Structure formats: C-alpha cells, structure tokens
Amino acid sequence: MFSGTKMLGHRGAKGEKPENTIGGITYALNLGLKAIEIDIHLSSDNRLVVIHDDTLDRTTNGTGKVKEATSTDIRALDAGDGEKVPYLEEVLDLLNQYSFTLFIEVKAVGCEKLLTEMINEREIHHKIVVKSFNHRIVKKVKEIAPKIRTACLIYGLPVNAVNIIEASRADGISISVSTVDQALVELCHHHNYSVTVWNVNKVEDLDTFVQMGVDYIGTDFPSIVTLE
Ligand code: G3P
Ligand code: CA
C-alpha cells in the first residue's frame, strides 16, 4: 500500500510554526513534505476544529474546553502568530492545491459520521489516513467508510501488532520511535500494513528508521530534511 519512507509534518510543523495551523501546514508543504498530521476536536456547535488539546489554553489566547466553545468563539482566538484555529474543511481544501497525504488524528468521540461525510463528499479518501488512540473510533470509521485508510495509534510495544490492527480493521499502525523495532515493521509489512513512527527531530537520527523501512517518519521540524 505504501512504498518508501516519507516525512510527516507533526501537527503541521510543531517545532517551527504554531502547531495545527494553516500557516504551519503550508510551511511544511512548501518545504516539500508529502504528508501532514493534524488533530481534530468537536466544538459545541458540532464543527470539526484542528487543535491538539481538549482545552484552548495552551495553544490559543482563549481558555476552557474546546467542546464547550462555539466554532465562532474558537475562530476569534489567536492560535499563534495571528493564525486562527482551522476548521477541518480548510485543511481538506489544501489537498486541492498540494499533493500530500493527510493523517487526521481523531481526538473527539462521536464525530465519525461527520468526518467520513466530509471526506467522501470531496472524494478525497485516497489522500487521507484517519487514526486514533481510540481504536473503537478507528473501527467505526472503517465500518462507515471502508475506502478510507485508517491506522491505530499505540503506546508501548505490543506482543502482536497485527492483532491490534485486525481487531480495528485498520490499514496500519502508528507507534513511537522509542518503542518501534525491526520485528514490528517486518510483521506489519508482511501483512501489508503501514508503519508510521513519531517523532524524529534530529537529522542524524533519521537513518535508523529509514533502514528499518518504516513508511512515514513524523517530525516537529520539517526543515531538517525532506525525503522523496
Ligand atoms: O502522530 C502521533 C502523535 O501525533 C500522537 O501524539 O500527542 O502528538 O497527538 P500527539
Ligand atoms: Ca497527533
């Protein structure tokens, strides 16, 4: 399904620009990255917004829970350097301008139908990977929209990664660089599942994971390198 190692801009370009913003994402894309990762939550009026935390406090000049704020209130906030908290649609629209794969990490429960409808109505399922630490969300997305690729985020090193992927009917796994090993990569690839690792932030550390054969390497610093 995937071939060759590609770099993935974590939260856009978290280490270099305000995270999960259009400015950060386009910065990474203009450097030549072919994959971007974002996080999504639901606002109180059921809009999908691109933000990592379940509160507004750390990454904006607002306070309180994202799910208790209206999308209008969230849009009035500064997400850093004058950037706004994007609506998911705005990031999806970038797929018309740039050639890249968008990894959408679902942090909110109960948005599977809304998310899959947005992807399907734009006919962009082949450019998307939906992932989550909540594997029930991963499974539900696949049940609703079988054409959308999915991945299970995991902490730690499982005894059998394939069991986890198959239980969620996913297409791959996303795992920390601190725990991934060669055996896991080989097992997943043997079953035609993708492996994404997060995060490598020093150029001298990249080769270990390229040699391991992972499909995507997440980074907070897209400027360190761009791999074909
Ligand atoms: O890509 C995996 C990574 O994004 C998961 O951790 O906390 O950055 O969402 P977090
Ligand atoms: Ca994430």
Q: Which domain holds residue 102?
A: 6-219
Probe residue for ligand 1, chosen from 37, 103, 107 as the CB with the greatest number of ligand atoms within 8 Å: 37
Residue 227 belongs to some domain of the structure: no
* Three-state secondary structure call for residue 145: coil
Q: Which residues contact 6 (CB under 8 A, 6 or more apart)?
A: 33, 34, 35, 101, 215, 216, 217, 227
Residue 103 belongs to some domain of the structure: yes
Residue 178 belongs to some domain of the structure: yes
Probe residue for ligand 1, chosen from 39, 137, 154, 155 as the CB with the greatest number of ligand atoms within 8 Å: 39
- Residue 61 CA to ligand 1 center (angstroms) comes to 22
H-helix or E-strand spanning residue 48: strand 48-50
| Residue whose CA is at the smallest distance from ligand 1 atom 6 | 198
Contact 58, 51 (CB under 8 A): no
Catalytic residue numbers read: 10, 52
Residue 228 belongs to some domain of the structure: no
Name the pTM for this structure.
Answer: 0.97
| Count of domains for the chain | 1
pLDDT, average across residues 52-59:
98
Residue 204: predicted pLDDT: 93
pLDDT of residue 79 exceeding 60: yes
174 lines ligand 1 (CB under 6 A): yes
Residue 57 belongs to some domain of the structure: yes
Residue 1 belongs to some domain of the structure: no
19 lines ligand 1 (CB under 6 A): no
Q: How confident is the model at residue 40 (pLDDT cuts 50, 70, 90)?
A: very high
Q: How confident is the model at residue 224 (pLDDT cuts 50, 70, 90)?
A: confident
| Residue whose CA is at the smallest distance from ligand 1 atom 10 | 52
pLDDT, average across residues 95-118:
98
Contact 36, 100 (CB under 8 A): yes
37 lines ligand 1 (CB under 6 A): yes
CATH number of residue 98's parent domain = 3.20.20.190
The atom number, within ligand 1, closest to the CA of 133 reads 5
The b/e string for 14-33 (b: 16+ C-beta within 10 A; e otherwise) is bbbbbbbbbbbbbbbbebeb
Residue 72 belongs to some domain of the structure: yes
pLDDT, one tens digit per residue, over 113-165 is: 999 999 999 999 999 999 999 999 999 999 999 999 999 999 999 999 999 99
Closest CA to 14 of 43, 52, 48, 40: 52
Task: Say how far residue 154 (Cα) sits from the centre of its chain.
Answer: 13
Give me 27's structure tokens: 């910065």
Q: How confident is the model at residue 1 (pLDDT cuts 50, 70, 90)?
A: very low
Task: Give the ranges where 41-157 is alpha helix by DSSP (H).
Answer: 71-75, 88-94, 112-122, 135-144
Residue 225 belongs to some domain of the structure: no
Residue 225: predicted pLDDT: 77
